[in-house]
Structure 1
Amino acid sequence: MTTKSIPLTDELHAYLVGHGSPPDEVVRDLAEETRSLLPAQASMQVAPEQAAFLTFLTRLIGARQAVEVGTFTGLSSLAIARGLPEGGRLTCFDISEEYTGIARRYWARAGVDDRIELRIGPAGDTLRELPHERYLDFAFIDADKTGYPIYWAELVPRVRPGGVIAVDNVLRGGRVIAPQSADDRAIAAFNDEVLADVRVDAVMLPVADGLTLARVR
């Protein structure tokens, strides 16, 4: 037994993924195409166990209205959309037509494109176009790290009481304890901001590169 999360070897990670909801052909093909076409950016894609968790979490909280900031090639949005019920809606915000062009193809292939709306443009601006009311059930932030405080500020007031905000890359490969770059410093400061935010109850999980879950009060 241990009082802290254990490190994952490649073999243990494969065991973990193999004992959850297994990636289907669509997910496997999307991950492979991303690695093949965008090898330098492929690490921006969520981990397979994280994708499965996003589907599980979306279903668990009964989310019908969701937002994603930072879509890349669409694995996380695909996972969230699969967790929505019939009539559910996911609004995605990204700045890249190239990356999200891949996402659109896989959304259609998975049969969830009818529940996803993609808005292209700087999310700091486009998020402000959302209704100014507490209607969102779920939000996922996984975009440029220096923009996290802006996205947080726009989303928290729009999430209903009991709704959840998930934030990715909050450990920065462990560098949050000794930041080495502007992105590291931005995330370290953001983590402190979330900790001090009395509007939410938050927990940081060692999933992939660190995932914060915040439940809005």
Structure 2
Amino acid sequence: MSIAEVLPSDGCVLALEITDAYLKDYCIPAWKMANVESKIDFRLGTATQTLQNLIDNGESETFDFALIDADKQNYSNYYELCLKLIRPRGIMAIDNVIWSGLVVDETDQTSETVGIREVNDLIAGDNRVRISLLNLGDGLTIVVKK
């Protein structure tokens, strides 16, 4: 919502969510109160399919910014799809990349931790991007597409 508040009048935040459980009672009233309802495009469904649909509809390299903060097992998939959608010099932020320090604990083989480890390794070796890791909270990687 904070991003929508600072966008120009023709700007748009595309919000992807697997459930609309909080949409009616929380999200829409908050968006209305902040006067940003017209700037938020809510898409219900799986993020992988929604992102792929955007690509299939010719929206590759049209996004300025993408934030990944979803099911950790699919972080690598979301990263690759978002990389196709953001324009050159566009920015992607990936949340929870430190995961309470569990990413360096090789005994932790939960699907969430493994998913974050995989995306961290993928990004670290990706010559299509420049990266910076912010050691704030649970970790945030900032990716700039070359």
- TM score, norm. by length of structure 1: 0.62
Please list the CA deviations of residues 182-217 of structure 1 after superposition, one character each: whole Å capped at 9, or x if unmatched.
Answer: 101110111010111111101110122100000010
Indicate the percent of aligned positions where both proteins have the same amino acid. Answer: 34
The amino acid that maps onto 2:131 is: A
Q: Equivalent residues in 2 for 1:74-93 (5 A)? A: 78-93=1-16
Between 1 and 2, higher relative CO (CA 8 Å, sep ≥ 6) is seen in 2
**Which whole-Å CA distance do the structure 2 matches of 1:160 and 1:90 have between them?**
15
**Which whole-Å CA distance do the structure 2 matches of 1:173 and 1:83 have between them?**
31
Correspondence for 1:157 among 84, 105, 117: 84
Please list the CA deviations of residues 116-157 of structure 1 after superposition, one character each: whole Å capped at 9, or x if unmatched.
Answer: 000000111111121342111001010000111111111101
Q: Equivalent residues in 2 for 1:37-186 (5 A)? A: 78-101=1-24, 102-130=26-54, 131-179=58-106, 180=108, 181-186=110-115
**Which whole-Å CA distance do the structure 2 matches of 1:216 and 1:165 have between them?**
8
The amino acid that maps onto 1:148 is: Y
Runs of 4+ in 1 over 3 A off after TM superposition: none
The structural deviation recorded for 1:170 is 0.4
The equivalent residue for 2:129 is: 200
* SS of equivalent residue, structure 2 residue 136: coil
Q: Which runs of 5+ in 1 are unaligned?
A: 1-77
Higher helix content, 1 or 2: 1
CA contact (8 A) 2:79 2:119 kept: no
The structural deviation recorded for 1:175 is 0.6
The amino acid that maps onto 1:136 is: F
The amino acid that maps onto 2:42 is: L
For these two proteins, the number of residue pairs brought into alignment is: 140
* SS of equivalent residue, structure 1 residue 98: coil
* SS of equivalent residue, structure 2 residue 22: helix
The equivalent residue for 1:62 is: none
- TM score, norm. by length of structure 2: 0.91
The amino acid that maps onto 1:84 is: L
**Which whole-Å CA distance do the structure 2 matches of 1:81 and 1:145 have between them?**
25
Q: Equivalent residues in 2 for 1:21-32 (5 A)? A: none
RMSD (Å) for aligned C-alpha atoms: 1.2
Q: Which runs of 5+ in 2 are unaligned?
A: none
